[in-house]
C-alpha cells in the first residue's frame, strides 16, 4: 500500500530567523502554560480537568491565527507553522520513549490484565463507526461519512482512503475532514472527555488508560494526562504505562485493522443504515473540499533530529521544574539524557532496517527493554528517568501541535459544523469502545 505524495516540491531550507522565532515561542508558551497550571471544573458529580497542555495548545494556535497582526519578530508565519509540524513527529518520540520506559517496569501488571489489552483494540477500530456513522447519517452526510468515521483519520487513514477511493472522492473528502477536525479540535476534546470520565468513577483508571491509546500520539498524551492528573502518583504511572502499551498495539496493527476490519465494516454499515436513517441536507451535496495549506515539508537529517530531541528535552526539563517542582539536578538531566538516548537508538534501528518498521515501535521497544527485568541496570534507568514526569514532556509536544494548527484552518472553514460533530462522535467512539471492552476484562481486578 503506497502513501499518496503530499507535495512534489523539494523541501525548503529552514531560515534561522524562522527557527529561532518558533523555538522561542515554544519555550515561552510552555513556561506560561505551566505557570497557569491545572484547573478543575465541576460538572455534576464529575469534573473536567484543564491541564497546562491545553493552555499550550490554545496559545500555540492563537499565535498562528494572529500571525498577520503581530510584529515580525513575534510572527508565527506559514513557514514557522510547517516547521512546527515537522518537529512535532520527532518530538513525539521523546514522549513515546518515556512511555516505553514506564511500560518496561510495568510488564508484569500489564500481562496480568490478560485479554483486556488485546480485545480492547476492537473497540478502538470499530467504535468510530458504531458511534460516528449514525450521527453523520442523521446530520445528512452521505458517502463522506465512510471516510470520516472508519477511523480517527490520521495519516495512515488518508493513505488507505486515497488508494481505495481517491482523495477527490466523497470518501476522500470525509477522511480529510476528519483529519483536519482531529488536528484542530481532537486533542482538546479527548482530554476533556477523558478527564470527565475519570472523575465520574464509572470506569477503572486502567481501562480508561487503555482507551486513551487511540493511535495518535498527541491525543493519547492529552487523554492519558487528564486521567493521570486525577490519580495517586503510583496509579498515574500505571495509567501512563497502560496508555503507552495500548497506543503501541494500536500503532503496530492499526493499518491492518483499519484496512481489513473497520473500513469493510463501515462500508457495510453505511449500505444498511443510510436507507433507514439517512437525511438530505446541505451537507449531502458533494462539493470539492478545499485543499489544506500548501505543504512545505522540512526534511530533517539525523543531526537536526538530534538537535530537536535535545532542545525539546531541555524545554521538558523546564516544564518538569515549573509544573512538578523537581529541581534541575544531575538526576533529572541524566534521566532526560537517557530518554533522548533511547530515542536516538530507536531511530537508528529504524534507519538500519530501512524504515520497514515505524520508528515509534523501535523507540518503544528500546524504552521497554531498558527498564525490563532483562536489562541489568533496569533499576537505575527507572530511577533516573522516573525523575522526569511524562506530563512534562506532553506540554512541549502539544505546544508544537498548537503552533502547527493555523495552517489548516482555511481549509477547515468550508467543512461546516456537521463534520465537527461527526468527528467528536467518532473520537468519542474509539475511546469509549475500547474503554468499555477493557472495563469488562478489568472488572475482576477493580
Give the pLDDT confidence score for residue 156 in this predicted structure.
63
Give the pLDDT confidence score for residue 227 in this predicted structure.
92
| Residue 43 bridge partners (DSSP) | 46
Give the pLDDT confidence score for residue 411 in this predicted structure.
55
Measured CA to CA, the distance from residue 201 to residue 134 in angstroms comes to 28
The pLDDT tens digits for 162-191 are 767 875 677 877 776 787 677 667 778 888
> Which grid cell is 120?
480492547
Give the pLDDT confidence score for residue 200 in this predicted structure.
87
Q: Is 46 helix (H, G, I), strand (E, B) or coil?
A: strand
Q: Say if residues 34 and 323 touch (Cβ distance below 8 Å).
A: yes
Give the pLDDT confidence score for residue 181 in this predicted structure.
76
Its pTM stands at 0.71
Measured CA to CA, the distance from residue 95 to residue 393 in angstroms comes to 6
Compute CA 328 distance to the chain's CA centroid, rounded to the nearest angstrom.
Answer: 28
Q: Say if residues 403 and 76 touch (Cβ distance below 8 Å).
A: yes
Give the pLDDT confidence score for residue 356 in this predicted structure.
82
Q: In 10 A of CB 67, how many CB atoms? A: 18
Report, as ranges of residue numbers, the positions in the chain whose pLDDT lies below 50. 1-11, 287-295, 444-446
Give the pLDDT confidence score for residue 289 in this predicted structure.
43
Give the pLDDT confidence score for residue 293 in this predicted structure.
43
C-alpha dihedral over 122, 128, 130, 133, to 10 degrees?
A: -150
Give the pLDDT confidence score for residue 159 in this predicted structure.
63
Q: In 10 A of CB 284, how many CB atoms? A: 16
Give the pLDDT confidence score for residue 355 in this predicted structure.
85
Amino acid at each position: 500500500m503506497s502513501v499518496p505524495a503530499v507535495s512534489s516540491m523539494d523541501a525548503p531550507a529552514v531560515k534561522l530567523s524562522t527557527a529561532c522565532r518558533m523555538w522561542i515561542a515554544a519555550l515561552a508558551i510552555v513556561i506560561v502554560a505551566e505557570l497557569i497550571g491545572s484547573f478543575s471544573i465541576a460538572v455534576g458529580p464529575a469534573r473536567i480537568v484543564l491541564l497546562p497542555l491545553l493552555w499550550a495548545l490554545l496559545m500555540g494556535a492563537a499565535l498562528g491565527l494572529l500571525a498577520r497582526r503581530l510584529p515580525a519578530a513575534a510572527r508565527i508565519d506559514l513557514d514557522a507553522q510547517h516547521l512546527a509540524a515537522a518537529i512535532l513527529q520527532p518530538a513525539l518520540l521523546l514522549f513515546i520513549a518515556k512511555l516505553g520506559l514506564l511500560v518496561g517496569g510495568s510488564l508484569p501488571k500489564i500481562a496480568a490484565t490478560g485479554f483486556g489489552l488485546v480485545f480492547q483494540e476492537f473497540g478502538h477500530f470499530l467504535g468510530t463507526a458504531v458511534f460516528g456513522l449514525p450521527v453523520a447519517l442523521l446530520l445528512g452526510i452521505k458517502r463522506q461519512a465512510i471516510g470520516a468515521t472508519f477511523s480517527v483519520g490520521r495519516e495512515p487513514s488518508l493513505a488507505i482512503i486515497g488508494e481505495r477511493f481517491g482523495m477527490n472522492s466523497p470518501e476522500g473528502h470525509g477522511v480529510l475532514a476528519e483529519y483536519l477536525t482531529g488536528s484542530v479540535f481532537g486533542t482538546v476534546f479527548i482530554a476533556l472527555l477523558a478527564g470527565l470520565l475519570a472523575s465520574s468513577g464509572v470506569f477503572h483508571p486502567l481501562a480508561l488508560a487503555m482507551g486513551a491509546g487511540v493511535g495518535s500520539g498527541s491525543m493519547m498524551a492529552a487523554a492519558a494526562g487528564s486521567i493521570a492528573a486525577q490519580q495517586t502518583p503510583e496509579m498515574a504511572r500505571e495509567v501512563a504505562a497502560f496508555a503507552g502499551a495500548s497506543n503501541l498495539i494500536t500503532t503496530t496493527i492499526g493499518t491492518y485493522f483499519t484496512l481489513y476490519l473497520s473500513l469493510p465494516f463501515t462500508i457495510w454499515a453505511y449500505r444498511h443504515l443510510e436507507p433507514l436513517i439517512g437525511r438530505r441536507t446541505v451537507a449531502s451535496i458533494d462539493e470539492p473540499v478545499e485543499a489544506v495549506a500548501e505543504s512545505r515539508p522540512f526534511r530533517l537529517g539525523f543531526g537536526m533530529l538530534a538537535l530537536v530531541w535535545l532542545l525539546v528535552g531541555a524545554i521538558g526539563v523546564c516544564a518538569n521544574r515549573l509544573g512538578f517542582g523537581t529541581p534541575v539536578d544531575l538526576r533529572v538531566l541524566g534521566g532526560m539524557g537517557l530518554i533522548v538516548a533511547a530515542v536516538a537508538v530507536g531511530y537508528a534501528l529504524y534507519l538500519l532496517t530501512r524504515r520497514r518498521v515505524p520508528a515509534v515501535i523501535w523507540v518503544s521497544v528500546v524504552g521497554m527493554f531498558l527498564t525490563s527485568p532483562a536489562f541489568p541496570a533496569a533499576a537505575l534507568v527507572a530511577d533516573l528517568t522516573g525523575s522526569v514526569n511524562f506530563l512534562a514532556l506532553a506540554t512541549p509536544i502539544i505546544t508544537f501541535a498548537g503552533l502547527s494548527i493555523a495552517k489548516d484552518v482555511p481549509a477547515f472553514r468550508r467543512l461546516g459544523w456537521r463534520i465537527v460533530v461527526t468527528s467528536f462522535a467518532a473520537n468519542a467512539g474509539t475511546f469509549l469502545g475500547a474503554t468499555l471492552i477493557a472495563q469488562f476484562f478489568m472488572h475482576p481486578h477493580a
